[in-house]
């Protein structure tokens, strides 16, 4: 493994060696004293040089620069005109074979000037892709010289690029329209170097801030910061581009106090951009913000009052430690880990006989480890190297334990088991390639799907890199029947005893689920790792007379990403995978988790998207990423260290109020950007805001009804689950963090305003409004017409169902249908919304007084001094339980006026709470 890690260190500078700080663990690169060769366009300007271009170093990159191997040309999967190149050109053997295909005339070594790669690209009429270069231009001379020399191929193994250096390492502009060229120098492992600027591909990550042309000339645009990306061979180099947003950049930047190293690194970046940070948020904002972000739970009114009354200097730090011990902390982060690791009931449908059990046990296993402060690397180890059976456990004992775990109350026993094999059992992780993609997403935060077919356009991975990595996952499987002979016999005995007859597939699984819930022990699938040694042993049993079978068989191997050393599949490769992940020099494992946790707190990662740690998508603040990664590793992968370091920084505690310099900043953390609450947190916040004090206390401590503790809710039917779908709960269908949506929509507003479930919570006899009605003897209490309210609720539910159907129809229309049918559908939606509003009004008018008759005097127009004193505490309580703060005097006045104008005090209080739940302040974390 030590040699493997040294190989990783040597390999990484290929893509990251820069004048700026390298990634964690990358060694400093010694300066090369030899001056590089001049560019090809200089050396081949007149075509008189005797130099022979190199296929890998010159010809393939030139074809890339000309666009020949792009998606829209010969690099597409179908090719163009019968000629196909590898996309982005890193399959040198295939490209060479395609160029020199017999009878293709693309390369004619005996009649050089008739070669089609010289003739067609210089003739716009002949070439479908248009004219690509001039006859007699340097590009023409390079290709002609290569063909004239016999079109020499590249070596059997690709030459290794030691590093690509790009100058300058950072670009700073002062005004729009300013320009500066980049220069790229390739340094190869054989000691040679040359200027390859004219052979590079250049892209920008934000055209509004900076553009870059084919020659590497960068032009400044809007104020802000981004990266331009330089690609050559397998190197991908991002170059920061900054243009200050104010005159305060650099030496003019004022002194800003920093409390932590996180703040110092953030301010260092802001000073380059001339962005001033917002001030520190109020105590009320911090309490609500960190409670929702860290535990997925609204603070209770008692917590708010206690915290606001506390005048100790360290109360925010003490609060964080208290939140770590709350049930919501472990539950919420188990939900986030379930997102990242792909805990999906739909993808586990064939694993356990009881629907939903595999997913919920997955959650419980994670929750128990987070609650007991298990280090992150040990949590991952329990997943990556998972075994179905505990040490010394027989197959029957394993089935007994799993049968008990799937019954009510058995979750805790499963959570005590050493490992979580369900990760490897998902339907969408059956093939080795799928396992490789899922593993890389879950534990490395990278997207390697592209490399499955071609060179990754934004990273160093080639198709061969992907194929070698995927081989490591080939031995892992979770078949329905055990492969171990003794276990298979035990399974057959169990099925015979259960008298399942000839049932197979889904029918058998359903029957086993019924028997399990009746108390029977049923068989379960078992994770197996079919190593080469195990296969050879099986082959020897099947072929006892072929004694040399094992010796003749070649043991298959695979490779870790970025490590040039083979891993034998004679034994379980997952041990090597885990050892590689947790090593401090691994450039993905720790940064991926750091980035995802940061994104949870700020709505955007240091790398965005949060699961795309690629060379072309660098951190917005690399020193900050390196600091947090290094600290996380040195802490022993302590999750609480990471949370504490982030939430106790001034950066996290910034106010959401903006100043002239940071109003548009959404990536450099100069202010807190308000963001919508996640789906599960919205669901639970409505429950907590509307619940009675007793019920709310129970919901905070016993999480069985909370969405943050019930991942099996995904893809189920029901009012609570509709709320989760509306607010974008992750469906965990793909290896992508984008399965969770943070977008806002009209349907979300309609849900909070008119959904029958929300109204049922507000009007519930066990809710907070009813509790206050009883305790304060509010007018209208006990005067409801229960039968009428139930009828109205049924009407609401029916209208909600119709409204959802119309929205689904509208979303499913193709462009042509939308033009014809959308106006009528929108009209129907508007009519349904109006009807729902009417139902809501009728519900509020359903308060009856004096034997069922409406108050003959009508609604009161003002609140008496006595009633003001009596009702003000209720308004205070409504604000505390929903918004986590005391109301302002004008808010109290407006609320009391609303209550006074209502048909009854109970209806008025209900309306106040409904209004608060429908504010942006409630639905956003700020």
pLDDT by residue (tens digit) across 277-325? Answer: 999 999 999 999 999 999 999 999 999 999 999 999 999 999 999 999 9
Taking each helix axis from N to C terminus, what angle separates 768-776 and 679-690, rounded to the nearest 10 degrees? 20
Q: How much is the average pLDDT of 431-449?
A: 94
Is pLDDT of 812 > 80? no
- pLDDT for the residue 20: 36
Place of tokens 């099925």: 495
State the pairing for strand pair 171-172/235-243: parallel
Q: How crowded is residue 654: how many other Cβ atoms within 10 Å of its Cβ? A: 23
Considering Cα of 891, then 895, then 896, then 898, what sign does the dihedral take? Answer: positive
Q: How many Å apart are CA 625 and CA 214, to the nearest integer?
A: 31
How far is 433 from 439, CA to CA, in rounded Å?
Answer: 10
Please tell me the distance from the alpha carbon of residue 413 to that of residue 393, in angstroms, as a whole number: 15
Radius of gyration for the alpha carbons in the chain, expressed in angstroms and rounded: 33
pLDDT digits (tens, 9 = 90+) for 80-118: 778 877 777 778 888 888 888 888 889 999 999 999 989
Provide the pLDDT for residue 553: 60
pLDDT at 371: 97
For residue range 207-237, what is the model confidence (pLDDT) as tens digits?
999 999 999 999 999 999 999 999 999 899 9
pLDDT the model gives residue 809: 72
In three-state secondary structure terms, 463 is: helix
Q: What is residue 836's three-state secondary structure?
A: helix
Q: Which pLDDT score, from 0 to 100, does residue 608 have?
A: 94
pLDDT at 18: 32
103-107, 391-395, 747-751, 818-822 — which is least confidently predicted? 818-822
Which pair of tokens denotes residue 802?
């119709």
Exposure of 554 by Cβ count < 10 A (0-12 exposed, 13-18 middle, 19+ buried)?
Answer: exposed
Answer with the residue of higher pLDDT: 562 or 146: 146
Please answer whether residues 164 and 184 qualify as being in contact, where contact means their C-beta atoms are separated by less than 8 angstroms. yes
How many Å apart are CA 543 and CA 625, to the nearest integer?
Answer: 56
pLDDT of residue 864: 74
Q: How far apart are CA 645 and CA 647, in angstroms?
A: 6
Question: What pLDDT is attached to residue 345?
Answer: 87
Q: What helix, strand, coil percent values describe the chain, rounded to 5?
A: 50, 10, 40
Listed residue (350, 554, 569) closest to 474, CA to CA: 569
- The sign of the torsion formed by the CA atoms of 300, 302, 305, 306 equals negative
Residue 429 structure tokens: 């992780």
Instruction: Please work out, in degrees rounded to the nearest 5, the angle formed at the alpha carbon of residue 367 by the alpha carbons of 362 and 368.
Output: 105
Angle among Cα 737, 740, 744 to the nearest 5 degrees reads: 135
Percent above pLDDT 70 for the chain: 87
Considering only CA atoms, which of 368, 171, 180, 178 is closest in space to residue 272?
Answer: 171
Could you give the CA distance from residue 94 to residue 115 in angstroms, rounded to a whole number?
19
CB 246 within 8 A of CB 275: yes
Strands 217-220 and 210-212, sheet pairing: antiparallel
Element (H, E) at 229: strand 224-232
CA-to-CA dists, residue 312 to 282, 288, 315, angstroms: 14, 18, 6
**Which structure tokens are listed for 108?**
């004619």
Q: How many other CB atoms are found less than 10 A from the CB of residue 877?
A: 17
- Look up residue 678 and give its two tokens: 């996640």
Is residue 505 scored above 90 in pLDDT?
no
pLDDT of residue 830: 74
Q: Which pLDDT score is estimated for 209?
A: 97
Q: What is the pLDDT of residue 8?
A: 30
**Sorting pLDDT into bands at 50, 70 and 90, what band is 330?**
very high
Query: Model-level pTM?
Result: 0.86
Kind and range of the H or E run holding 243 = strand 235-243
Domains of the chain: 12-28+160-243 (2.60.40.1080), 40-148 (no CATH), 343-425+477-589 (no CATH), 701-848 (no CATH), 865-925 (no CATH)
pLDDT of the residue at 714 = 53
pLDDT at 254 over 50: yes
Q: Which residues pair with 924 in a beta bridge?
A: 676
pLDDT interval class at 436 (50, 70, 90):
very high
Question: Which residues have CB under 8 Å from 66's CB, separation 6+?
Answer: 121, 132, 133, 139
| Higher-scoring residue by pLDDT: 81, 178 | 178
pLDDT digits (tens, 9 = 90+) for 462-490: 888 899 999 999 999 998 888 888 999 99
Q: What beta strand segments (E) does 99-156 contain?
A: none
Q: Where are the beta strands (DSSP E) in 7-84?
A: none
User: Average of pLDDT values for 177-203?
Assistant: 95
Give the residue ranges of DSSP H helices in 499-547: 505-517, 532-542
Higher pLDDT, 4 or 726: 726
Q: How far is it, in rounded angstroms, from Cα 109 to Cα 144?
A: 10
- 884 contacts: CB under 8 Å, gap ≥ 6: 284, 287, 288, 291, 298, 299, 304
Name the phi and psi angles at 480, rounded to 5: -65, -40
Collapsed DSSP state (helix, strand, coil) of residue 616: coil
Q: How many CB atoms lie within 10 A of CB 666?
A: 14
C-alpha separations of 606 from 35, 274, 422, 611, 654 in Å: 36, 19, 30, 11, 17
What is the SS3 assignment for 230?
strand
pLDDT, tens only, 653-711: 999 999 999 999 999 999 999 999 999 999 999 999 999 999 999 999 999 899 999 86
Task: Assess whether pLDDT exceeds 90 at residue 500.
Answer: no
Average pLDDT score, the chain: 86
In which band, very low, low, confident or very high, does the pLDDT at 458 lie, cut at 50, 70 and 90? confident
- Residue 183 backbone dihedrals phi, psi, to 5 degrees: -130, 135
Q: Is the pLDDT of residue 850 over 50?
A: no
Q: Supply the pLDDT for residue 682.
A: 95
Residue 100 or residue 452, greater confidence: 100
Return d(Cα 866, Cα 754) in angstroms, integer: 34
Contact yes or no for 230/181 (Cβ under 8 A): no
Please determine, for residue 543, whether its predicted confidence score (pLDDT) is greater than 70: no
Q: Name every residue whose Cβ is closer than 8 Å to that of residue 4 and which is 6 or more positions away in sequence.
A: 560, 563, 565, 576, 580
Report the DSSP beta bridge partners of residue 559. 566
The C-alpha angle 387, 390, 392, rounded to 5 degrees, equals 120
User: What percentage of the chain reaches a pLDDT higher than 90?
Assistant: 63
Residue scoring higher pLDDT (547 or 178): 178
Largest CA distance in the chain: 108
State residue 811's pLDDT score. Answer: 62
Cα 448 from Cα 462, distance rounded (Å): 10
| Overall average pLDDT of the 263-283 stretch | 98
pLDDT value at residue 13 = 30
Query: Per the structure block, which two tokens stand in for 358?
Result: 């595999």
Looking at the predicted structure, is the pLDDT value of residue 14 above 50? no
| Interacting residues of 122 by C-beta distance below 8 A, sequence separation 6+ | 131, 132, 133, 134, 135, 140
β-pairing, 179-181 vs 217-220, is antiparallel
Strand partners, 243: 224
Question: Is 801 strand, coil or helix?
Answer: helix
């Amino acid at each position: 493994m030590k040699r493997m890690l040294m190989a990783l260190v040597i390999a990484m500078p290929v893509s990251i060696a820069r004048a700026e700080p390298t990634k964690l663990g990358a060694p400093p690169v010694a300066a090369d004293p030899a001056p590089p060769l001049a560019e090809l366009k200089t050396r081949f300007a007149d075509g008189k040089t005797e130099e022979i271009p190199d296929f890998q170093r010159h010809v393939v990159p030139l074809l890339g620069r000309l666009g020949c191997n792009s998606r829209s040309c010969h690099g597409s999967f179908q090719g163009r005109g019968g000629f196909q190149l590898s996309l982005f050109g890193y399959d040198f053997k295939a490209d060479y074979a395609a160029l020199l295909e017999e009878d293709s005339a693309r390369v004619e070594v005996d009649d050089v000037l008739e070669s089609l790669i010289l003739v067609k690209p210089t003739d716009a009429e002949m070439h479908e892709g248009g004219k690509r270069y001039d006859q007699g231009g340097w590009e023409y001379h390079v290709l002609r010289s290569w063909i004239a020399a016999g079109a020499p191929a590249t070596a059997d193994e690709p030459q290794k690029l030691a590093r690509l250096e790009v100058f300058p390492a950072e670009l700073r502009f002062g005004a729009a329209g300013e320009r500066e060229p980049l220069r790229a120098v390739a340094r190869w492992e054989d000691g040679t170097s040359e200027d390859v600027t004219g052979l590079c591909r250049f892209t920008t990550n934000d055209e509004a801030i900076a553009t870059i042309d084919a020659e590497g000339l960068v032009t400044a645009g809007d104020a802000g910061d981004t990266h331009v990306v330089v690609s050559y061979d397998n190197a991908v180099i991002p170059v920061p581009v900054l243009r200050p947003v104010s005159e305060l950049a650099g030496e003019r930047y004022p002194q800003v106090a920093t409390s932590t190293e996180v703040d110092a690194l953030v301010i260092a970046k802001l000073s380059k951009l001339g962005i001033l940070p917002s001030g520190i948020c109020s105590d009320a904002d911090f309490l609500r913000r960190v409670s929702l972000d860290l535990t997925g739970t609204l603070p209770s009114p008692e917590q708010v009052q206690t915290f606001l009354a506390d005048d100790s200097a360290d109360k925010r730090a003490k609060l964080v430690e208290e939140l770590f011990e709350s049930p919501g902390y472990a539950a919420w982060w188990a939900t986030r880990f379930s997102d990242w690791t792909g805990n999906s009931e739909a993808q586990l449908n064939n694993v356990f006989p009881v629907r939903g059990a595999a997913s919920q046990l997955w959650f419980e296993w994670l929750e128990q480890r987070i609650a007991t402060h298990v280090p992150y690397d040990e949590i991952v180890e329990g997943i990556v190297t998972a075994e179905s059976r505990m040490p010394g456990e027989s197959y029957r004992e394993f089935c007994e334990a799993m049968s008990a775990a799937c019954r009510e109350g058995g979750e805790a026993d499963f959570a005590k088991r050493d490992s979580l094999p369900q990760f490897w059992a998902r339907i969408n992780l059956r093939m080795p390639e799928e396992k490789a993609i899922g593993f890389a997403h879950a534990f490395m935060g990278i997207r390697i799907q592209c490399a499955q077919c071609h060179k990754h356009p934004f990273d160093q991975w080639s198709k061969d890199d992907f194929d070698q990595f995927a081989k490591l996952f080939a031995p892992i499987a979770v078949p329905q029947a055990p492969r171990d002979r003794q276990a298979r016999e035990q399974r057959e005995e169990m099925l015979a005893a259960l008298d399942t007859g000839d049932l197979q597939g889904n029918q058998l699984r359903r029957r086993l689920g019924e028997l399990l819930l009746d108390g029977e022990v049923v068989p379960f699938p078992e994770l197996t790792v079919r190593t080469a040694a195990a296969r050879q042993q099986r082959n020897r049993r099947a072929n006892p007379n072929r004694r040399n079978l094992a010796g003749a068989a070649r043991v298959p191997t695979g490779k870790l990403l970025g490590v040039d050393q083979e891993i034998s599949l004679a034994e379980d490769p997952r041990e090597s995978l885990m050892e590689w992940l947790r090593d401090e020099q691994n450039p993905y494992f720790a940064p991926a988790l750091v980035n995802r946790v940061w994104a949870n707190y700020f709505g955007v990662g240091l790398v965005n998207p949060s699961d795309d740690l690629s060379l072309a998508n660098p951190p917005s603040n690399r020193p900050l990423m390196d600091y947090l990664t290094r600290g996380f590793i040195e802490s022993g992968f302590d999750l609480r260290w990471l949370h504490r370091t982030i939430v106790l920084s001034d950066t996290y505690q910034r106010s959401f109020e903006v100043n002239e310099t940071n109003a548009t900043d959404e990536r450099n953390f100069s202010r807190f950007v308000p963001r919508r609450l996640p789906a599960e947190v919205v669901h639970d916040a409505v429950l907590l805001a509307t619940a009675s004090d007793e019920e709310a206390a129970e919901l905070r401590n016993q999480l069985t009804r909370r969405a943050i503790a019930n991942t099996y809710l995904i893809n189920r039917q029901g009012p609570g689950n509709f709320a989760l779908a509306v607010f974008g709960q992750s469906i965990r269908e793909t290896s992508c963090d984008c399965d969770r949506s943070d977008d806002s929509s009209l349907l979300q507003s309609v849900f909070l305003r008119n959904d029958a479930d929300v109204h049922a919570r507000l009007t519930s006899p066990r809710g907070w409004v009813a509790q206050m009605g009883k305790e304060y003897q509010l007018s209208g209490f006990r005067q409801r017409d229960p039968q009428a309210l139930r009828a109205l609720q049924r009407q609401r539910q029916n209208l909600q169902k119709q409204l959802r159907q119309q929205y689904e129809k509208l979303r499913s229309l193709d462009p042509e249908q939308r033009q014809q049918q959308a106006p009528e559908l929108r009209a129907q939606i508007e009519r349904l919304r109006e009807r729902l509003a009417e139902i809501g009004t009728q519900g509020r008018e359903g308060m009856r007084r004096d034997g069922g008759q409406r108050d003959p005097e009508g609604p009161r127009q003002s609140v008496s001094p006595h009633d003001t004193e009596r009702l003000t505490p209720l308004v205070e309580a409504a604000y505390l339980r929903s918004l986590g703060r005391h109301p302002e005097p004008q808010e109290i006045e407006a609320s009391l006026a609303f209550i006074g104008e209502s048909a009854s005090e109970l209806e008025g209080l209900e309306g106040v709470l409904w209004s608060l739940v429908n504010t942006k302040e409630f639905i956003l974390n700020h």
